[in-house]
Structure 1
Amino acid sequence: MRLSSLLSGLCAATLALAAPRTAQIYVQPILTSTSSPVPLAEVAYDPFSPDVAQIVTYEHPELPAESSLVRVGLYETKSATWLAGTTVASTENFAKGYSPNILLTVDRIGGNVISAAVKGVAIDAGQTRDFGPKAIVVVESMGKQPELNKPIVLSPEGKKVEEVEKTFLQKYWYLLAIGAFLLISGGGGGS
């Protein structure tokens, strides 16, 4: 009975982690006057297969002409707070001739959104027919660990212990022992 409940609990946890998630991305013009964030896109993603991320809904933002910068990120309307890391982008990313790419950075363990960004990519009508916005998901990964040298040895007083370099005889005594053994045992010739 306990084994079956343990297995069913593990399966439920696996399904909960593997379920696709959605993130509601907001955009807010940065002006001298206060303006509230407006929905930009809803992105469906799976942190375990980031290549299948897709835009569920997208609303082209109506930005004031005097604004040149926008804030992009996850926003909770009930508490009026930004939930994850926000980025600042130029309003030119939403201009004609550009297709917005929405970049989500997600946690590798929980799959939670860490940051959201927008980058406008120039559209070349002769090359492609896919002009719509795209979603890109980047899963954080461990950085390269430093390769450290030999640790410094300290004396009980806290001073650096000077290591004495070994002499030739201390380093290669075994070669001299092998050579002596070969000289002693090498020999007998018959007459």
Structure 2
Amino acid sequence: MRINALFSALCAAALVQAGFRTAQIYIQPVETPETPSLLAEVAFDASNGAASSIISYEAPELPESAQLVRVGLYDTKSARWISGTTVASVDNFDKGYSPNLVLSVDAHGELLSAALKGVRIDAGQTRDFGPQIVVLPALKGKQPELNKPVVLSPEGKKVEEEEKTILQKYWWLIGIVVFLAMSGGGSEK
């Protein structure tokens, strides 16, 4: 009996952790052709972005001449970027700014791209000055509302609809007129 309880508890714990994925976010100065360096390792859940967290974060060592940095997923074995990359200013790492990592995730939970955004912090409002993570899931867009389709004849010409007669257009008025005629006027005493 205890073995079943232990087994079910382990399965439940595995299901809770099944939604989390990890990713390594890299950073590279745009002006200098250096190899990208690891910026952060994150654990994210596409269905629950609030449960996502930063496992490790290392402030980048950028050269003084750097103005822009590239942020994204990088494969160190093949030495190429494996996701969409974004370009951000090095001002995002200045004092008074908290770096936010923005992850774009598709409907299947796969990471599409990573971005960096520096958010100005107010010491009087918050005590959390560290880096934050924001997960943006891909949502289905609004579908266009289409008019009724164009009907074509076998020759490929537009078929003109027949004009409705007055009786076909206003048949419902006949019922109202009949009702008013039958219910109107009572006998006078």
**TM range, normalised to the smaller chain?**
0.7 to 0.9
CA gap of 1:17–1:147, structure 2 versus 1, over 3 A, is farther
* Structure 2 residue matching 1:124: 3-state secondary structure: coil
Structure 2: distance between partners of 1:135 and 1:17: 18
Q: 1:44 matched to which residue of 2? A: 43
CA gap of 1:130–1:183, structure 2 versus 1, over 3 A, is closer
Q: TM-score, normalised by structure 1?
A: 0.80
* Structure 2 residue matching 1:93: 3-state secondary structure: helix
* Structure 2 residue matching 1:92: 3-state secondary structure: helix
Gapped regions of structure 1 (runs ≥ 5):
1-10, 185-191
**What percent identity do the matched residue pairs reach?**
62
Residue type of the partner of 1:26? Y
Contact kept in structure 2, 1:89 and 1:119, CA below 8 Å? yes
Please tell me whether residue 95 in structure 1 is matched to residue 94 in structure 2. Answer: yes
CA gap of 1:128–1:29, structure 2 versus 1, over 3 A, is same
Contact kept in structure 2, 1:100 and 1:134, CA below 8 Å? yes
Counterpart selection for 1:159 from 140, 151, 157? 157
Structure 1: distance between partners of 2:148 and 2:17: 42
Q: 1:115 matched to which residue of 2? A: 113
Q: 1:74 matched to which residue of 2? A: 73
CA gap of 1:178–1:134, structure 2 versus 1, over 3 A, is closer
1:129-175 Cα distance to aligned partner (Å, 9 max, x none):
11000011111110111111111111112122222331212223465
CA gap of 1:130–1:181, structure 2 versus 1, over 3 A, is closer
Structure 2: distance between partners of 1:84 and 1:49: 22
CA gap of 1:84–1:52, structure 2 versus 1, over 3 A, is same
Gapped regions of structure 2 (runs ≥ 5):
1-10, 183-189
Q: What aligned pairs does 1:121-132 form with structure 2 within 5 A after superposition?
A: 121-132=119-130
RMSD: 2.7
Q: 2:58 matched to which residue of 1? A: 59
Structure 1: distance between partners of 2:157 and 2:84: 45
Shift of 1:178: 8.3
Residue type of the partner of 2:118? G
Contact kept in structure 2, 1:98 and 1:121, CA below 8 Å? yes
Contact kept in structure 2, 1:73 and 1:86, CA below 8 Å? yes
Structure 2: distance between partners of 1:141 and 1:17: 23
Shift of 1:176: 3.9
Contact kept in structure 2, 1:71 and 1:89, CA below 8 Å? yes
* Structure 1 residue matching 2:168: 3-state secondary structure: helix
1:106-125 Cα distance to aligned partner (Å, 9 max, x none):
1222x110110000011211
Q: 2:185 matched to which residue of 1? A: none
CA gap of 1:92–1:181, structure 2 versus 1, over 3 A, is closer
Contact kept in structure 1, 2:25 and 2:41, CA below 8 Å? yes
Q: 1:34 matched to which residue of 2? A: 33
* Structure 2 residue matching 1:164: 3-state secondary structure: coil
Q: 1:150 matched to which residue of 2? A: 148
Structure 1: distance between partners of 2:118 and 2:145: 39
Aligned residues: 173
